[in-house]
Amino acid sequence: MNRKNWYRLDNAAQIIPSSIFMEDTRVFRLVCELTEEVDRAVLQDSLNEVVRRVPYLTSSLRRGAFWYYLEELGAEGIVQEETQHALTALYVPGRKNLLFRVVVYRRRISLEMFHVLADGTGGFFFLEWLVTSYLVRKHDLNRSLLDKFNIEQEELLRDAFAAHYRKDFRRKRNYVKEMFPVVAAKQRMRKDPNLWEHLVEGTASTETILGIAHRYGVTLGVLITSVWIESILKGLNRSQYQRPVVVSVPVNLRKFFPTQTARNFYGTIQVTYDGNLYDGTLESILSAVKRGFEEQLSIEKITKTMNSYASLEHNYAIKVVPLFAKYLGIMGIAWMMNRGVTTSVSNVGQVTLPEDLVPYVDKFASFMACKKSFLCISTFADKMTFGIVSSYEKHPTECRFFRRLTEMGAEFTIASNDWDET
């Protein structure tokens, strides 16, 4: 009998199994919308090819005495028609099942992953691989288009946190209290009684959105975070301004440390805005958000963030604590993190494909399950897509967000997995 491979969880993934709660399944969805209907049979062959090359994708999450770990199942995923709600749970405690799914709806290919397998950047790597393989097969294109995915397994699955951990750069202070020192403002809206995630997708011209950012003299991340904060503020009562709006912003650590890992390798920064400073103009938010980004995206602070994740596994006292005790402790950490955040904004980044593939692809999009609201930005050619997930029944914040950008000159195509007349 063949021995099954197993993998330690990377450091960012250690907290994920203990932080799943109700609607927050810790599943993300990455979407590629083609210019033609998807051929499921060809896509299935392409998925089989990717999984054979990276059997890590067939892993199931298992409980050990001291840590969770991943164990290969040896099964191949099956391409499914879209029949269930987006971002439904992939991990069920005690059950051996795949931690990803590939679903198809007309021209859309969606890859959903449980966050322990990869982060958004790693997930997009696998989706690009799948889409490239599919288009090469479907249209008999040159297989050299797949050469970019010929990365050694050891590098592709490297735990980059462990590889770049510096013991001499370890934090001495309480990381959780330092990162989440306040109780953040909350959006008080009715949650979906079925715990379903609500997805809203808005697509506009990349050139137009970047032009708006340049007009204000800020980066894309600063502009979108500021408009999102303003959209939230306009839905709060003045009394709620006594607590700041705190935006959690994931940071791709690959931009700071050399690695080709497709597993988790990200940190987070917290952008805080005092609502009492809002004078009705976007400029009053932009300056504060810009300053917050500049202060926190220094290499020194990013290194501290990365080491904070890695130090968990290197702490001997934590190592010898049984898993059930760690579980309770991590639940407490997750609770503190949740109370210290109002919302999240992630610029997943720009997807680039070889010129031969571009005519067959319309756009890319990304979504992340959450307890509150989560905005993801994905860019392909001249289409920038904002994927917003919320656990609320109504979507007034999303409406204010798109209306504000429309006032600035953007034109949007809006889609959703439900209907709201707000």
The domains located in the chain, with CATH, are 6-159 (3.30.559.10), 167-416 (3.30.559.30)
Q: How far is CA 47 from CA 88, 137, 287, in A?
A: 21, 12, 46
CB neighbour list of residue 246: distance below 8 Å, 6 or more residues apart: 180, 182, 184, 185, 270, 271, 272, 273, 340, 341, 342
Query: Which band of pLDDT confidence, cut at 50, 70 and 90, is reported for residue 172?
Result: very low
326-348 b/e (C-beta count within 10 Å ≥ 16 → b): beeebeebbeebbebbbbbbbbb
CB neighbour list of residue 304: distance below 8 Å, 6 or more residues apart: 169, 171
3-state secondary structure of 175: helix
* Tens-digit pLDDT profile for residues 394-416: 999 999 999 999 999 999 999 99
Q: Rounded to an integer, what distance in angstroms lies between the CA atom of residue 366 and that of residue 360?
A: 19
Q: Which residue has the tokens 């980004």?
A: 293
CA 10 to chain centre: 16
Say if strands 245-252 and 108-114 run parallel, antiparallel, or are unpaired.
Answer: unpaired
Q: Rounded to an integer, what distance in angstroms lies between the CA atom of residue 73 and that of residue 146?
A: 26
pTM across the whole model: 0.93
Average pLDDT over every residue of 162-182: 62
Pick from 125, 11, 109: nearest CA to 57: 125
Pick from 263, 74, 256: nearest CA to 155: 263
Are 170 and 311 in contact by the 8 Å Cβ rule? The answer is yes
3-state secondary structure of 282: coil
* Tens-digit pLDDT profile for residues 206-259: 999 999 999 999 999 999 999 999 999 999 998 899 999 999 999 999 999 999
* Tens-digit pLDDT profile for residues 115-152: 999 999 999 999 999 999 999 999 999 999 999 999 99
Are 259 and 160 in contact by the 8 Å Cβ rule? The answer is yes
Q: Rounded to an integer, what distance in angstroms lies between the CA atom of residue 415 and that of residue 413?
A: 7
How many other CB atoms are found less than 10 A from the CB of residue 109?
Answer: 24
